Amino acid sequence: MKTLTQVWLICAAGCFLILIIGFNLADRLGLFAGFIVCLLFLYLTFYKGLKVFIEKTKSKEVLGSDPTFMTQYLNELKSRYGISRVRFFLSHNRTPPLVWSEFSNELIVTVNARVIHSLTLAEKKLLCHLLLSHGHYQSKLLRRILGLFYLSLTPIEKIVSPFFNVLSYLLGLSKEIYTADLKALSNSQVCGHATQLEFGLFLHKLHYLNQHKALLSQGTYYFSILSDKNSALYNLNFHPHITKREKNILGYSI
């Protein structure tokens, strides 16, 4: 079953469930309220979501000549990850590298400009492997729904963070990170861009760069390729700890 077909089936089932719950709670009024909720859900998921994502990161698309070479590297490697098109954005906000996957296999990538300037050309290629791999393997629908919903709860995000962490873990969003890391490693080795150890060292360096660290993880964390070291209860931190990811890369049991 194609990804887009799966998305529509899940959305249809979700909307049907919302309508049933609304009708059972308040009859016709509940049904009408459920209908409004479904419209808002579909509007945010399929139309407004990307605009909210770009506005939140305050990023700008790189068009034409790209002195960082990131656009070139992303386009050279995208076919290895089944991605049809890549749009590269730079942000001056303190944000980790982010990937937004469209249902048409188009990938939107956002990276902090200062992070890019901290990397060598070889490391930029490894970053591209990570971005493309996570863009392919991270759940398009679940991360979009949860991320946008979390963003809409900004005034009370500290209160609801524990719930979102548990829910995200139960939905398997943590396991996707391990899979994406290993695929990025495999392709980087095939391309001759890095050994297993070099890839692990790069992943460690990327996590500990200070340029992209925000004080509090926002809903955009759902689109991040990194793990948050802040283990505070009020913060989003359902991605595996960097130590576990390094062990996974080096072939140790986790």
40: tokens are 């808002």
Using DSSP's 3-state secondary structure scheme, residue 82 falls into coil
What is the average pLDDT across 155-166? Answer: 86
Note whether 22 and 37 are within 8 A (CB).
Answer: yes
Reported confidence tier of residue 127, pLDDT bands at 50, 70, 90 = very high
β-strands 98-101, 85-91 pairing: unpaired
The pTM assigned to this predicted structure is 0.84
Looking at this protein, which amino acid is placed at residue 55? E
Residue 63 has pLDDT above 80, yes or no: yes
Strand partners, 106: 85
What does DSSP assign to residue 81?
G
- Structural domain spans, the chain: 1-57, 59-250
Residue 81 has pLDDT above 70, yes or no: yes
- Inter-helix orientation angle 196-207/121-137, to 10°: 80
What does DSSP assign to residue 52?
H
Which of 7-11, 23-27, 60-64, 220-224 is the least confident region? 7-11
Q: What is the pLDDT of residue 7?
A: 47
Reported confidence tier of residue 23, pLDDT bands at 50, 70, 90 = low
Residue 47 has pLDDT above 80, yes or no: no
What average pLDDT is seen over the chain? 84
Tell me the H-state helices in the chain.
Answer: 3-43, 49-57, 70-77, 113-117, 121-137, 140-152, 157-170, 173-190, 196-207, 242-250
183: tokens are 């695929």
Reported as a single tens digit per residue, the pLDDT across 172-194 is 999 999 999 999 999 999 999 99
